[in-house]
Structures are given as structure tokens and as C-alpha cells.
Structure 1
Amino acid sequence: MTKIKLHWQILIALALAVAVGSWTGPDATLMGVSAYAIYDFVGTLFLNALKMLVVPLIVASLITGVASIGSGASLGRLGGKTLLYYLSTTLLAVLVGLGMANLIAPGIVDGQPARQLIGLDAETASVAEAVQGRGSADLLGIFLRMVPTNVVEAAARGEMLGLIFFSLLFGYFLTQVQGRGGEVLLAFWQGVFEVMMRMTDWVMRFAPVGVFALVAKVAAGTGLAALQPLLLFLLTVLLGLAVHFFLVLPLLLRLLGRVDPLRHYQAMAPALLTAFSTASSSATLPLTMECLEKNAGVSNRVSSFVLPLGATVNMDGTALYECVAVLFIAQAYGVELSLGMQFTVVLLALLTSIGVAGIPAASLVAIVIILGAVGLPAEGIGLILAVDRILDMCRTAVNVFSDSCGAVIIGRSEGETGILTATRPS
């Protein structure tokens, strides 16, 4: 009997989850236990298993990746290409979002601002409490979080920027250690990386079950009724994400990477579906790395450097969402933003998509920062809460796909010839 490929298993689980979750709703019970609670337990268990892999995988992959790159010149070249790619694609995503929001104007319904029609969500107060005290000063905190006082504590708290900075330094100076000591250390971290990839293989056997639970929980808790008042905003964001996902990034793959985008979609399918289900780039990182190396043929030298950085700082989908959300809120309040103010929105969306990743309620905090900068009330965040979870899942898939495209393009620019030369099914 032919085994069903992983991405098909996950896709089937997604479809079943939407149907079953919508059918059970938040109140159905199974043997006296809430179906919603079961979805929550299984989904959280799977998500915890993925997150368990992240810290050791990031540390081992970055240290071995930097050590394999070698000299400072090679590291600087690869780092420069990575940062240039991430800044460029995030800027393109923000511009796509800006264009969509101005073209469709989702905050205007029948020529009138949509605030009264939509109403404010009851959870606005809780969001305001979560972002209280946040502001533009949080952007300065990026640099402080890059240099942790205790790297073990940073790892325990999931502060990826500090962990990445330490790992980059450790990997670089590992290349300066000559003799037996350096060889033993490098062999140790290579062994850790190989073990983590094997653990990833094992955890991903349970991916269809975990994906089913995560998506069924969203379908049961949100339902379709909550989406109707915000349908135009939802469609605007989805259309912007689709343009970036199906047009901008494939064009970059074709023009800069000189590879077939369709093969790349096929290679990355398991990671993209998992990213959609978990709504976490970091949690999806182990599978993203596995798909790139095994299915797409990108070397560990490139993927182990580019992907951990991307999972932390490259947020194309998030930046696009922030831009559309702020313009939607402005339109809903009847505020017309000038070109200068829209430029401010673009710049802040670009910066906050990178800078607030380590802050709780990251995208909502970023939106509040931008709202404050353009003079809009923070309570406007309540207009979009009903659909935030659905859009979070979609924009995470875009974030992960952008990371993978970056690894392919950078790998090709480094002279790698075995990337996407033939289909490598999962």
C-alpha cells in the first residue's frame, strides 16, 4: 500500500478540522469532556513538542553553520546577502499591503466609515492592558535583547534575538580555536544538530493529528459568523498576502534564484501547512529546515544560517498585515492619512515587524505603536480582533515561505547547483 505523503496528510487533516470544528462548536462534549478542551490539549501538546526542539536546533544549526562558513569575509558576505533579502522582501510586502488598503478601502462601507457598522470587540480592554506602556521605545529594546546578560535565561524565556547573537559569536570564534579543542567542539555541535533533525522527523509523524487539533480549535471557537462583519478587511489582507505569496516571491525565485517556483512550493508544502496550523514561524523552524535540505536541496551551510535569522526577523506577512490593519482602522474612523503619514506607516511597519517579535502579542503591539505614531486611538485594535487569529495563521505561512525563498536565492548566489534540480517529494 502506497503511503500518503506528509503534505497530503496535513491537508486532509486541515479540511477535516474545519468541518469537525465548525460542527462541534465550543460547547459540544465527548464523554463529558468538552471537545474544545480536547482540541486545545492535543494542539498544545503538539505545539509544545515543536517548541521543545527550537532552542537546541537554533543554537546547533547557527554554530555549525557559521563554523562551516569559515572566514570573516565569507560570513560577512552571507550575512549581508541575508539582511538585504529580508529588508527588501519585507518592504515589498508592506508596499503591497499599502496598495491593497488604498485600492479596496475596507474601512469604508457604502461611502461611510465602518466603525459604527462593525462595533468594538468586547476584548478591547484586555488588549489595551496587554499593550499598556508599549511604545516606540520598544524598538530600542531590540538592541538590548540582542545582548543577553544570561544566555541560558534568554533561552528559557524564548528570547531568540539574544540566542542568535550568542550563537553567531560562538560559531565565529569556534573557527579561531585551533587543534583538538576546536575539532571536538565542532563535532559536538554537529552531533547535536543531527540528533535534533532526527527528533524533528519523529515529532512530525504526529503532525496531522496536531494540525487537526489546532485548526479544529480555531474553527470551533471562532466560527464563521464572526468573520462576516469584517469580511472586506479579511479579504483585503488575504488578497495582499496572496499577491506576495503567489506573485512577488515566485518572481524573485525565478529572476534571482533561477529555479522553478512550482518545485519550491512542492518542496515546502509540509512546512507551509504546519506554519498555517501553528501560527508560529519559530515552532515551524525544524520542519522548514528539514524541507529545505531534504526536499529542495539547499545546503546545511546556508539553511542553518539563513533560516534561524529569518524565523526571528523576517516577517513579510506580519508587516503587510500591520500596514493594512492601520489603514483599515484609519478609514473606519473616518481619518484620511496623507502621503507623509502613509510613509510613516510603511517605515514603522518595516521596523516593528522585525523589532517586536520578542514582545507578547507581537503584531497587536506593533499595530498599537503605529496607531500612536499617526494619532489614531489604540482602541481601534478592537475592530480587528475577531479575525486576528485566522489572519495570523495565513501571514505565518507567508513568513515561512519568504524565509525559504531567501535560503534558495542565497544558496544559488553562493554557487550551489543542486537546489530544486529535481522534485524531491516528502
Structure 2
Amino acid sequence: MFPFKLKLHWQILIALVLAVLVGLAVGREAGIFGVSFYAIFEFVGKLFLNALKMLIVPLIVSSIIVGVAGLGGSDNLGRLGGKTLGYYATTSLFAILVGLLMVNLIQPGVVDGDPKEVFGFHADVAALEETVGGKDSGDVVEVFLRMIPVNVVEAAAQGQMLGLIFFSLLYGFFITRISEAYGRTQRSFFEGMFEIMMRITDLIMLFAPIGVFALVAKTVADTGLEAFGPLALFFFTVVLALGIHFLVVLPLLLYFVGGVSPRRHYAAMGSALLTAFSTASSSATLPITMECVEKNAGVSNRTTSFVLPLGATVNMDGTALYECVAALFIAQAYGLELTFATQFLVVMLALLTSIGVAGIPAASLVAISIILGAIGLPLEGIGLILAVDRILDMMRTSVNVFSDSCGAVIIGRSEGETGILQPKPKAAPV
């Protein structure tokens, strides 16, 4: 897209800015030769997303199997797995608590007047006051059932990443438990598959600026900037909470726990963050995330291939934060005051459902519907946030991806890896 030499993240950033300008200028109707620009953006963007999604299943399977098989004994696997899950649970909980604090301080859903008139609700608010908090979280059990697929091929075809990850973890572990002759052949096959997937990723990333331009231009042409008016305070609350987690919580973990420079890590993750923002899919961004963490941040393939594919499915800091804020915003919009116990239930549901949310655009709306149902709110409340959900989806996906990458860095450092996010040595004078 750009004839002069620029680093990939600068190319993507320029594409983002141009996309906003072009999307506002052309809207949905403008076109050329009878074809609307909107249709062109949709076609090109879908091509780029399809190319990225094409890599997801073989990349996740090969990277996890290679990573787990490379760990060797069960002691190594247990140690690395424990650190990874501990990090993911901790950061997701931090994110939810940040969201909970902001939505209670700002109270974006509190309005003057009758909520039914202001927001166009149909539900009986008085009846809701009696039912809120009276339901349990039984639907969350489905998250755990999806961990063990009935048919692993069907799970791969349907994009059920939890089941695929569980199968890959078992497969990689038992490669270390079979005879050396068979184990060596299996490892070589999946190592070769992983290398091929990374080479294909490099090829697809050559077209990333074009794909990003098309995806963002389509979104802006579709929604414009007018959709933010009625939901400005909700939008601001989510962005502020995401910003605190992205710019304060995670950098503090990098600095004090990982012992590395957050500034260097932001620079290393530039292209992955911009791709996550434009695609709104942590799964589709996974190939770029792995490339940035390995090549730019200097984390070993051993750590990266285990931590990042797992994180792309189970670590959703931004999504968990958004679910919590959205559920409480909708409750506020109905004029309801949630008790501490009900808010605690929201926190736990946001933590658990974020684990099972697919890494694709708008998947968190399904999790929000589970939370609303569990605390007794009607699903019509989701209609409140649809106007701004896409833009916020792009933002929270970037937070998801950045948290995954921070986890890889922190865990890599805890494993004794050297050279992570270290300044490159200056060339010796001639």
C-alpha cells in the first residue's frame, strides 16, 4: 500500500487514519461504476479476516503441541501452566474491579426521567426490582462443558477453541510419554507445521495495511460518529476503565513483576495492537501477536507457543471489564440499584464467561446476555449498547491482546529467560 519503506505498525497506523477520513467522506451510498465503496470495503476486509482466520486452527494446534511437547516432563508443564493460569485469572480480576469501580463512580446509566421513555424500554421496571438477583449462574457450566469436545474435528470446524486447546494440550503431553522413535516423528511434524504457519502469516501481513483500511473504513462508513451521542457517558466510562488497565495496571505488572520496560513492550507490540484494534478479533490477531512477542520482545518460542494460544481463548481482560460495565450500566438504565451480593455475582460471572468467549467480533454480547439473565434483567437492554459496541469491541480486543503479550513476557522472565525486551547493542564504530 505504501511505496516507501515504513515499519509495519506505521503502515497500519496510517491506514487507520486514512480509513476514518475516507469512511466519513463516502458513507454507505457513494460508489463508482455502480459499485458502492462500502461494498468494496466489506469485500476487501472480509478477505483479510478470512486469511487470518484460515491460520487459527492449524496455528493453535501446532503451537500448543510443540510448546507442551517441548516442556518435557509433567513438572515443567505443571509449573508453566500454573503460572499462566494464575496470571490470566489475576489480570482478568483486576480488569473487572477497575470496570466495577468506574461504573459505580460515574454511573453512566443514571438519567433524569422515566427510563422507559428515555431508553424506550418495554419491561416493567417495578417487576424487575423483585427478580433481580434471584437467579443463579448455572449457564456458566456450559463454559466448562465446551472444554471437552465430543468431536475434535467438529470443534475445529466450528471454532470452539476451548475444546481444541484442551485436546492439543493432551496430545502434546502424551507425545512425551510415547517411545522416542514415535515422539521424535510427531514433534518434527508439528514443528514443521508451526514454521509453515508462521511463514504464511508473514505473507498475509504484507497486506495488513490494506485489510485494516478496509475494515475500519467500513465501520466508520456504517456508523459514522453520530451513534456516540446518546451513549457518550457509557462510552467514556468503558474507554476510561480500559485505559487504566492498559496504561496503568499492565505496565505496573511488567515493571514490578517482570522487571522490564513497559515502553519497550508497547513499541514491540505496535503492529499486533493495531491489528487487534482493526479486526476486533484476538484469535485472528494471534499469528501477529506471536510474531511480535518472539521477534520484537525476545520471548522464547517455548514460552510463546504455550502462553499466547491459551491466552487468545481464556484471557480476555478487556472483554471481562466490558461485560461488567455493560451489565451494571443496563441495570442503572432501568433505575435499579444492585446490592453488593448482586454486583459480586456480576464480577464472578464476568470472570467465568470471559474465559469461554470466542475471540471474534461481538462475541461478548453472548456473555453479557448470560450475565443479564443470571441477575434477572431482560435481554432488551443489550440494544442500548449496540450502537457503540463495535468501536468498543476494537478497543477491548487490543487490551486482550496486550494482556496476553504481557503474560508471555512476565512468565518468560520468571522462567529465567534472558534478552527479553533488552535494548539492542549499538554497532561498534568503524
The bucket for the TM-score relative to the shorter chain is: over 0.9
**1:288-307 equivalences in 2 (<5 Å):** 288-307=289-308
Using the alignment, how far apart are the partners of 2:393 and 2:360 within structure 1? 15
Aligned to 2:79: 77
Please state if 1:45 is matched with 2:61: no
Q: 1:174 to 1:303 in 2, by over 3 A?
A: same
TM-score (norm 1): 0.93
Q: 1:267 to 1:356 in 2, by over 3 A?
A: closer
Using the alignment, how far apart are the partners of 2:116 and 2:280 within structure 1? 28
Using the alignment, how far apart are the partners of 2:223 and 2:392 within structure 1? 12
**1:384-399 equivalences in 2 (<5 Å):** 384-399=385-400
Deviations 1:100-149 (A, max 9, x none): 0011111124x55666334469xxxxxxxxxxxxx944422223222222
8 Å Cα contact 2:41/2:217 also seen in 1: yes
**1:20-419 equivalences in 2 (<5 Å):** 20-109=22-111, 111-112=112-113, 116-119=117-120, 136-357=137-358, 362-419=363-420
Mean alpha-carbon deviation: is it higher for 291-300 or for 323-332? 323-332
Deviations 1:154-202 (A, max 9, x none): 1111111111111111111101122322111111111111111111000
Using the alignment, how far apart are the partners of 2:141 and 2:119 within structure 1? 35
8 Å Cα contact 2:313/2:355 also seen in 1: yes
Deviations 1:316-365 (A, max 9, x none): 00111111111111111111111111111111111111134389953112
**Structure 1: which 4+ aligned runs deviate by more than 6 Å?**
none
Q: 1:330 to 1:33 in 2, by over 3 A?
A: same
The amino acid that maps onto 2:385 is I
Instruction: Give the CA deviation at 1:2.
Output: 6.4
Using the alignment, how far apart are the partners of 2:305 and 2:181 within structure 1? 24
Aligned to 1:127: none
Instruction: Give the CA deviation at 1:374.
Output: 2.1
Q: 1:2 to 1:283 in 2, by over 3 A?
A: same
Equivalent position SS for 1:212: helix
8 Å Cα contact 1:263/1:423 also seen in 2: no
Deviations 1:365-392 (A, max 9, x none): 2112212222222211111110011110
Equivalent position SS for 1:415: coil
8 Å Cα contact 1:318/1:395 also seen in 2: yes
The amino acid that maps onto 1:157 is Q
8 Å Cα contact 2:362/2:389 also seen in 1: no
Equivalent position SS for 2:166: helix
Using the alignment, how far apart are the partners of 1:359 and 1:24 within structure 2? 27
Equivalent position SS for 2:229: helix
Equivalent position SS for 1:108: coil
8 Å Cα contact 1:159/1:358 also seen in 2: no
Using the alignment, how far apart are the partners of 1:247 and 1:280 within structure 2? 23
Q: 1:188 to 1:292 in 2, by over 3 A?
A: same
8 Å Cα contact 1:67/1:175 also seen in 2: yes
Using the alignment, how far apart are the partners of 1:287 and 1:162 within structure 2? 23
Using the alignment, how far apart are the partners of 2:275 and 2:230 within structure 1? 28
Q: 1:312 to 1:260 in 2, by over 3 A?
A: same
Mean alpha-carbon deviation: is it higher for 22-31 or for 75-84? 22-31
Using the alignment, how far apart are the partners of 2:151 and 2:412 within structure 1? 33
Q: 1:204 to 1:359 in 2, by over 3 A?
A: closer
Using the alignment, how far apart are the partners of 2:196 and 2:6 within structure 1? 26
Deviations 1:281-305 (A, max 9, x none): 0000000000000000000100100
8 Å Cα contact 1:278/1:284 also seen in 2: yes
Instruction: Give the CA deviation at 1:228.
Output: 0.8
The amino acid that maps onto 1:223 is G
Structure 2 spans left out of the alignment, 5+ residues:
123-135, 426-430
Over the matched positions of the two proteins, sequence identity in percent amounts to 70
8 Å Cα contact 1:118/1:230 also seen in 2: no
Equivalent position SS for 1:146: coil
The amino acid that maps onto 2:169 is L
The amino acid that maps onto 2:35 is V
Using the alignment, how far apart are the partners of 1:275 and 1:42 within structure 2? 17
Using the alignment, how far apart are the partners of 1:285 and 1:317 within structure 2? 16
